[in-house]
Amino acid sequence: MNLACCLLLLFPQLLCGLRGVNETEYQMHYSNPDTFQCLSDSSVRISATQVNDDYCDCIDGSDEPGTSACDYKFYCENAGHQPQHIFSSRVNDGICDCCDGADEYSGFVECADGCAALAEKLRLLRLEKERIRKEGITKKVAWIQEAVVEMQKLKEELATLEQDKQSYTTKLAELQFIKDKEEEIEEKERQAKKHGLMSDEDEAMPMADGSYSASQDNEDEDEDHDPKIPVPSIFSRFKGWLLDMVDEYIYSLPSRRSADDYKRPEAETARTNYNSQQTLVDNTQERIDKINKIFDTDYGEQKEFYMTTKECLNFVGEYTYKFCPFGQVTQGYTSLGDFSGWKTTEYENYGTTIDRSVQHYTGGVYCHGGPDRSATVVVQCGLENKILSVSELVRCEYQLVWETPAACSMEEDEAASN
Amino acid sequence: AEFSGIPKMTHYTNSFSLLLLLHLTYTFATHVFTDLEGRTEHAEVTAYQYGIFRLRFRDGQKYEVGDVVVATDDLSVPQSGDVFQHNSLNTVVQQSSLTVQENGLKAEFTVNSKAAITTELAAADGDNVGVTVTFPETTVLYGIPERAIDMALKEGHKYRMYNLDIFKYELDNDQGLYGIIPLLMAHSAERTVGFLFLNAADASVQLESDGGNGKKTTFSSEGGIVDMFFIPGPTPLDVQRQYSYLTGKQYLPPLFSLGYHQCRWNYRSEEDVLQVDAGFDKYDIPYDVIWLDIEHTDGKRYFTWDSHNFPTPEKMQEAISDKGRKMVTITDPHIKRAPGYHVFDEATANGYFVKNSAGTADYEGHCWPGTSSWLDFTNPDVRDWYATLFKYDRYKGSTPILYSWIDMNEPSVFNSHEVTMDKSALHHGNVKHRDVHNMYGYYHNMAAHQGHMLRSQGPPHDIPTRPFILSRSFYSGTQRYCAVWTGDNQAEWSHLTKATPMLLSLSLSGLPFVGADVGGFFGNPDAELLVRWYQQATLTPFFRGHAHLESKRREPWLFGDDNTALIRTAIRTRYKILPFIYTQFYIASQEGSSVIFPLFMQWPSDSSLFELQDQFMIGTGLMAKTISEPGVTETEVRLPGTQPWYSFSTGASYSAPAATVGCSLQQGIPILQLGGTILPLRERPRRSSNAQVNDPFTLQVALDNQKQASGSLYLDDTHSFKYQNGAFLFRQFTFENGKLSSTSYSQRTAYTTPVGQVSESFSTKTTVERVRLFGYDTKPSSVSLQYNLQGASYDAAGLQGVVPEDHTKPVPLTFEYENGVLTVRKPQAAIQLDWTITIQ
């Protein structure tokens, strides 16, 4: 910018540069005193007097950066604050858009120069934000450290669990072998008992090969037993129920009961031992899965969000909501969804980026006439771990704003400090 | 009453006939007779201006529809025997007569000595009344909206006239929907007549052939009286204007209400409202009004706010107002039965609710708030009181930018037969609901309108402002108070398709300010359907996007950048033609015409247009075709008349009788300008109508075969009633012999509302920034502007800097000529002054 220009900053539209463009744009495209080439079609040359003459000559609108004649953009310098481009549709529309009021020069409205005040307001906001950030990262750093410790513990626990699981599984196989053996004996004894009793009372003949099918026997009885319980066709849909009644009746016969209920004490012990070992294996696996899930979950680059999983947050608005980070969101007793991941954006050829300022919770309770409930959680830096608001912009799609030190940036806002 | 059983009363059997010339006004003759049950009835004939007759049968007991007919009969006319005459004031030479025989049992209405309508009263049966109405020499009947059917009514169909809230209404079902205008328009290539059946009970019309080349209709109703109006035409536009003379012309809406409206059930909170508002600015899409549906209230208590989601409604409205925009809140006629709620308490204390059949207690039913009662708007005291509810000190949290939406006023009662009020419920004056049913919504229209008039009578208003109210239910006369939309449609191509005939049917029946919800209320439109819907609706009088509570969000920027751009273009088209639309509304308010209308109304003798319902006119200059299926890239467009048609956006010309027009999603639906017309446009993108008021105009001139064209522009302060005292500009643009001239509009028709006392004026510095001519054959050698100022009309002080000091000399202008389109650059001609642009 030359000296004359600087001196004439007070009257930019008249002498220095061009209304609606910044210095760079001016030097690049608009400084020719005779002609102007439309920016997106340099074959169209118009007289320089047609630039900002309040009539749209270029198809791309570039000849009217300082008026509302085209669908284009207008630059406001906003001295004392930040420069910006606004839509040309805002120029001389009776509403002050630029803080310096440069967009309203036709006199339809008086715009006060609000740049200094706006800058001050933003500066204070930024300072406050930076103060919170700085304080917030103290907590965040502590959480990161705690997470490191916790993770180490979990890692160790996992190693132990894997070992335990192996020995528990070996032991389980042994106990199964014992159990199977004992039960084989038990079954033989039971069959013997049953046949003996039955020969006495019912004179039933064993099959020639010595086998005797209890189930076959039962089936026969199901169909023929006890004419006092008929199955009329109109009750056919109760047939299943009636058959159960018949079964119950049969098993209530003393002979059958005593045979079927037979338990060999050694087999009982083997079963108990086996079952408790199975439970031990299952519990161990469950814990392993849980720890692996923790390892698989994205708690942030430094696992700074891990410690937030330790407590659920309540929010009382029009309804009462409960938010368990990385777990579930509920409204009263209704699930609004389980954690399904951070917001991701896929770029062709560039892979996927993760946005750790938004979380998704999906698969909540089905909404009558609509989709399953779901929630989006907007994550912001704050001193405390709390929910700021819950809204339902579309029916059954919720939005929560969650403030947590875990979201505070480690990077200093230099502009705020200056 | 058994009229046929009274032959002995010979002194009443004399027939009489009235012969009227156009503009014959006020006469009536009464014939008294006693029916078989001993009741006295009066067959009463009234004559109105324009050759309109009324014949009704009164007994002083039965319910009669009141508050609808506004025509006054205060002119005395020369009388000679049974012949009443008045000198014709119009160029349309026409005679009409009504001959009544057998005490009114039969009547014949003739126009220019030709039988046009004959009626024969049906034998009465209890409270039931009926009449057979025959329209000889009639090709097609239109009217009796609202129903989701084709525009032309069909023989063999029975159309019910009973206002109902029908959930997910079916297309092509003859049932009546939310409102009724009991007007038939009987049309043939030779002439058009109208017939109004003023009755508000559960009624039907059966349509048949008359055995010849006409139509026979049978009206029957469960209550009220037979009250008939015979409307002579002879053109469809005449019928429309004559009907408007009877029931009132379209009120002049405030300009903002003709912009785009953004609605949803529901914008959830103040923050939500402000975010949607910011979205329009972020994407540079113009809009004027953001709406709040029932959820904004405290438990569906209308005139209150949900304190959790809308804790600071004034602050929210201030933020919207700062951008020059407005808001609308809903207020339904059912009142939650909740002691402590001021509306309920006051209505209870004053006995303002509709009563149960015994008259012993308030009628109760279920609606949005749960157990509710319904305000009895038929009672003028209730309307007076209801009006006060809109006052700023009564409606806490309301500000002058807040307007109203009145819904569910059929009335909708969830737990009652046919989802409406029990027919035995009692209204003011012991009127049974069955007799007044179809008027319930109309009286709500009146009450809400009265409320908005009342609230702007004092501070913070310096001057009263024009109301904007949207209603779902309506009756003849609603055009004086409200806009109407077609209710709960669906996000289906079939519903977009049917929206056009539905809106045309309402328009031709004298209700011009109508629209259908963009995108469809129920369901979720895909991007193509939504874009097509915007492209169509941007040309319809009332333009609002709306969606159901369970629908996905569908603000214009949620369908990807390409679709955002297409929707932006569609909505901007609306703002571009807004000066033209506003002018059409002004004309409708003065002459009783409509804003959009079917093509047959402009070319009434072209019988190939009688059933054309996917094309429509916007004013007499623009025409559009609805695209109602996916994947369309071009379409055949009917081009009636003999003049050329031009693409509105490119100026490409097309010739009658038809042409294939490109209409891809990117090109938009076909919009054509008729040769011979001039459209005033504002082409600069803006964020609202308010932000356009200082913008210059483009005059788009489409030349006819004689290289002539004409058009008009109406301008005022956009919102007050000062125009009634002369504070407006109405400019006439005429192109002939290579000259475009601007003069004050002075054309008047027989229907134009007389000008009141001129005590105010309207002035603007706005100019014409561009004249675009379609159909100009050769490149001109020069173009110049010449002001024609004869002293008085030139306000030198007010227009300093606009008009050159030496305005007696012609100003040379620059221009471009390409592909038959001549663009005159920056004439800077002051819009309010007389001037001529000469092209040589």
Residue B757's pLDDT is: 79
Instruction: Flag the least confident range among A170-179, B37-46, B448-457.
Output: B37-46
Preferred mutation among B283, B284, B558, B718 to probe A, highest tally of A CBs within 10 A: B284
ipTM: 0.90
By percentage, how much of chain A surpasses pLDDT 70?
Answer: 80
Q: Which two tokens stand for residue B384?
A: 């007076």
Confidence of residue A1 (pLDDT cuts 50, 70, 90): very low
- The answer to whether A49 contacts chain B (CB < 8 Å) is no
Q: Cβ contacts (< 8 Å) between B323 and chain A: which residues?
A: 95
Q: Does residue B312 carry a pLDDT above 80?
A: yes
Residue A160's pLDDT is: 95
Query: What b/e readout covers A192-220, taking b as 16+ CB neighbours within 10 angstroms?
Result: eebbeebeeeeeeeeeeeeeeeeeeeeee
Instruction: Flag the least confident range among A372-381, B38-47, B108-117, B355-364.
Output: B38-47
- The answer to whether A52 contacts chain B (CB < 8 Å) is no
Q: Which two tokens stand for residue B701?
A: 């001139």
Residue A239's pLDDT is: 55
Nearest CA-CA distance, residue A394 and chain B, Å: 6
Residue range A67-80: mean pLDDT, rounded: 96
Which of B309, B338, B306, B455 lies closest to B394, judged by CA? Answer: B455
Residue range B90-102: mean pLDDT, rounded: 67
Which of B547, B548, B541, B566 lies closest to B556, judged by CA? Answer: B566
For residue B682, the chain A residue with the least C-alpha distance is A69
Q: Does residue B817 carry a pLDDT above 50?
A: yes
Residue B474's pLDDT is: 98
Which of B638, B646, B647, B593 lies closest to B611, judged by CA? Answer: B638
By percentage, how much of chain B surpasses pLDDT 90?
Answer: 82
Spell out the residues 6+ positions from residue A207 whose beta carbon is closer than 8 angstroms to its own: none
Confidence of residue B793 (pLDDT cuts 50, 70, 90): low
Residue B53's pLDDT is: 87
Residue A221's pLDDT is: 40
Chain A from 65 to 84: CB within 8 A of any B CB? 68-69, 71
Asked whether the beta carbons of residue A55 and residue B769 sit closer than 8 angstroms, the reply is yes
Residue range B84-110: mean pLDDT, rounded: 65
- The answer to whether A372 contacts chain B (CB < 8 Å) is no
A258 against A181, higher pLDDT: A181
Nearest-CB residue to B550 (from A55, A317, A369): A369
- Rounded to an integer, what distance in angstroms lies between the CA atom of residue B330 and that of residue B290? 12
Asked whether the beta carbons of residue A95 and residue B826 sit closer than 8 angstroms, the reply is no
Residue in this structure with the two tokens 């004689």, named with its chain if needed: B706
- Rounded to an integer, what distance in angstroms lies between the CA atom of residue A48 and that of residue A27? 14
pTM (predicted TM-score): 0.87
Residue B81's pLDDT is: 38
Long-range contacts of B724-728 (CB under 8 A, 24+ apart): B724/B756, B725/B756, B725/B757, B725/B758, B725/B759, B725/B760, B726/B755, B726/B756, B726/B757, B726/B758, B726/B759, B726/B760, B726/B761, B727/B760, B727/B761, B727/B762, B728/B586, B728/B762
Nearest CA-CA distance, residue B819 and chain A, Å: 16
pLDDT tens digits for B243-292?
999 999 999 999 999 999 999 999 999 999 999 999 999 999 999 999 99
Instruction: Flag the least confident range among A52-61, B42-51, B416-425.
Output: B42-51
Residue in this structure with the two tokens 């004056």, named with its chain if needed: B429
Output phi, psi for A374, to 5 deg: -150, 160
pLDDT tens digits for A175-234?
999 999 999 999 999 888 877 754 444 443 444 444 444 444 444 444 444 444 444 444
Confidence of residue A417 (pLDDT cuts 50, 70, 90): low
- The answer to whether A89 contacts chain B (CB < 8 Å) is yes
Q: Does residue A118 carry a pLDDT above 80?
A: yes
Q: Does residue B418 carry a pLDDT above 80?
A: yes
- Rounded to an integer, what distance in angstroms lies between the CA atom of residue B53 and that of residue B73? 12
B96 against B457, higher pLDDT: B457
Tallying the residues shown for chain B, one arrives at 840
Q: Up-side HSE of residue B749: CA atoms within 13 Å toward CB?
A: 15
Residue A241's pLDDT is: 57
Q: How many CB pairs under 8 A join A and B?
A: 59
Cis peptide before B460 (omega within 30 of 0): yes
Confidence of residue B73 (pLDDT cuts 50, 70, 90): low
- Rounded to an integer, what distance in angstroms lies between the CA atom of residue B517 and that of residue B490? 9
Asked whether the beta carbons of residue A55 and residue B308 sit closer than 8 angstroms, the reply is no
Confidence of residue B411 (pLDDT cuts 50, 70, 90): very high
Query: What b/e readout covers A319-341, taking b as 16+ CB neighbours within 10 angstroms?
Result: eebbbbbbebbbbeeebbbbbee
pLDDT tens digits for A273-323?
999 999 999 999 999 999 999 999 999 999 999 999 999 999 998 899 999
Asked whether the beta carbons of residue A94 and residue B694 sit closer than 8 angstroms, the reply is yes
Nearest-CB residue to B549 (from A93, A108, A395): A395
Contact A147/A304 with Cβ under 8 angstroms? yes
- The answer to whether A332 contacts chain B (CB < 8 Å) is no
Asked whether the beta carbons of residue A94 and residue B324 sit closer than 8 angstroms, the reply is yes
Residue B144's pLDDT is: 98
Give the burial class of B149: count Cβ atoms within 10 A of its Cβ; 0-12 exposed, 13-18 middle, 19 or more buried: buried
pLDDT tens digits for B138-197?
999 999 999 999 999 999 999 999 999 999 999 999 999 999 999 999 999 999 999 999
Strand pairing category for B469-471 and B402-406: parallel
Measured at the CA of A74, the angle between CA A71 and CA A75, to 5 degrees, comes to: 160
Q: Which two tokens stand for residue A221?
A: 């009885």
Chain B from 551 to 610: CB within 8 A of any A CB? 552-553
Whole-number Cα distances in Å, B649 to B570, B573, B688, B689, B774? 12, 10, 21, 21, 11
- The answer to whether A88 contacts chain B (CB < 8 Å) is yes
Q: Does residue B79 carry a pLDDT above 50?
A: no
pLDDT tens digits for A130-177?
999 999 999 999 999 999 999 999 999 999 999 999 999 999 999 999
Which of A80, A125, A70 lies closest to A102, judged by CA? Answer: A80
- The answer to whether A55 contacts chain B (CB < 8 Å) is yes
Confidence of residue B105 (pLDDT cuts 50, 70, 90): confident
Residue B746's pLDDT is: 80
Other C-beta atoms closer than 10 Å to the C-beta of B740 total 26
Asked whether the beta carbons of residue B552 and residue A87 sit closer than 8 angstroms, the reply is no
Nearest CA-CA distance, residue A223 and chain B, Å: 53
Contact A309/A290 with Cβ under 8 angstroms? no
B670 against B19, higher pLDDT: B670
- Rounded to an integer, what distance in angstroms lies between the CA atom of residue A214 and that of residue A193? 13
- Rounded to an integer, what distance in angstroms lies between the CA atom of residue B691 and that of residue B104? 59
Q: What is the DSSP string of B34-69?
A: E-TTS-EEEEEEEE-GGG-EEEEEE-SSS----S--
B382 against A213, higher pLDDT: B382
Confidence of residue B41 (pLDDT cuts 50, 70, 90): low
Q: Does residue B744 carry a pLDDT above 50?
A: yes
Active site residues of B: 407, 410, 488
Answer left, alpha or beta for residue B35, where phi above 0 means left and psi between -120 and 50 means alpha: beta
Per the prediction, chain B carries an average pLDDT of 91
Measured at the CA of A338, the angle between CA A332 and CA A344, to 5 degrees, comes to: 135
Q: Does residue B623 carry a pLDDT above 80?
A: yes
Asked whether the beta carbons of residue A68 and residue B695 sit closer than 8 angstroms, the reply is yes
Asked whether the beta carbons of residue B549 and residue A94 sit closer than 8 angstroms, the reply is no
- Rounded to an integer, what distance in angstroms lies between the CA atom of residue A306 and that of residue B726? 73
Answer left, alpha or beta for residue B112, where phi above 0 means left and psi between -120 and 50 means alpha: left
Residue range A35-47: mean pLDDT, rounded: 92
- The answer to whether B322 contacts chain A (CB < 8 Å) is yes
- Rounded to an integer, what distance in angstroms lies between the CA atom of residue B185 and that of residue B193? 6
Residue B89's pLDDT is: 36
Residue B112's pLDDT is: 82
